Amino acid sequence: MKLSNLPEIAALMSAHSRCFIERRDSVPVQIIGDYYVHSRNRFNRWMRLLADHSAGLLCNPPTSPGRHRDASHGLHPLTELAQHIFINEMAARVWLLLLIAGDRFNRRQETEALARNLLSGYQTLRRRTAEIVIHNEALPAPQRFIVQDLRKTTETWTDLLCCSSMARFDLWSLAFNPEDAQRNAQLRLSGDLPAPSSVAWQFLLEELREAFSIDSIHTLHAHPDDRRILRLMLSSFPRTAGRTGLLSGQPA
């Protein structure tokens, strides 16, 4: 599975948000526990790599498991790492917000504290990544611009995909840019995401694919950690309407 598949998986989770939020049963404790453990392990791995980049220890590291070994795209390792972080965060934030919305809908407090803890961790990671990208003199200027543009694109699209749940449960404080998110929700979506089977949804997907049509993320493979976490997220959706279509995007 390529890194470029993840934004569309995030969109599919958003499209099936209602059946996730309004489910009668809770997300299995095993899934929540495994997700937390794997997410923290990935977070720690990313932070270690960022620390090494900051210290100048990874100028020419060996090819990582997430890198397409046959591609000669000439990316700096820090550019690759930043792309993995920002793209994976997009899918994670969509799912974590759905957990919080599910708690609100069912008037329970099973997962919100954990979800907010992980969201806070992603915020710290994003800020640290941006700082290192800006100050790393070995990173070519064009690649620095690619990373900065990708960060902005993931922020805009994550807010857009989450707007229905944020509006319904007053979770705008979890948006990257709350005011812009509310304005985009009204201007672009009339306040709600289109139905997954609609023509409007197909247009939205095409727009998303165009926004993430970056050559480098089409050559990078998702890390095994990412695929494991994605499988956990997708398996948490209930076996009701839409799950078949959603799981068709499940990573191998």
What is the residue whose two structure tokens read 């709350």? Answer: 178
Structure tokens at 7: 């934004």
Alpha carbon distance 185, 202 (integer Å): 17
How many helices (DSSP H) and strands (DSSP E) are in the chain?
11, 0
Residue 223 lies in a domain: yes
Residues in the chain with pLDDT values less than 70: 57-73, 191, 240-252
Q: Is residue 102 part of a domain?
A: yes
Residue 252 placed within a domain: no
Q: How far is CA 156 from CA 59, 86, 161, 183, 221, in A?
A: 31, 12, 9, 11, 23
How far, in Å, CA of 132 to CA of 53, rounded? 8
pLDDT tens track for 66-96: 444 334 358 899 999 999 999 999 999 999 9
Q: Is the pTM of this model over 0.75?
A: yes
pLDDT at 55 (0 to 100): 85
Long-range contacts of the stretch 190-196 (C-beta < 8 A, 24+): 191/163, 191/164, 191/167, 192/163, 192/164, 192/167, 193/14, 193/15, 193/17, 193/161, 193/163, 193/164, 196/12, 196/15, 196/16, 196/242, 196/245
Contact status, residue 3 vs residue 212, Cβ threshold 8 Å? no
pLDDT of 63: 44
Total domains in the fold of the chain: 1
For residue 73, what pLDDT is reported? 58
Is 125 contained in some domain? Answer: yes
Are 226 and 175 spatial neighbours (Cβ–Cβ below 8 Å)?
no
Q: At CA 38, angle to CA 228 and CA 77, rounded to 5?
A: 80
Q: What is the pLDDT of residue 72?
A: 38
Evaluate whether residue 113 is within a structural domain: yes
Query: Which residue, among 59, 96, 104, 86, has the nearest Cα to 154 in the 3D structure?
Result: 86
Per the structure, the complete domain to which residue 31 belongs is given by 3-247
| 209 within a domain of the structure (yes/no) | yes
Residue 77 is assigned to a structural domain of this protein: yes
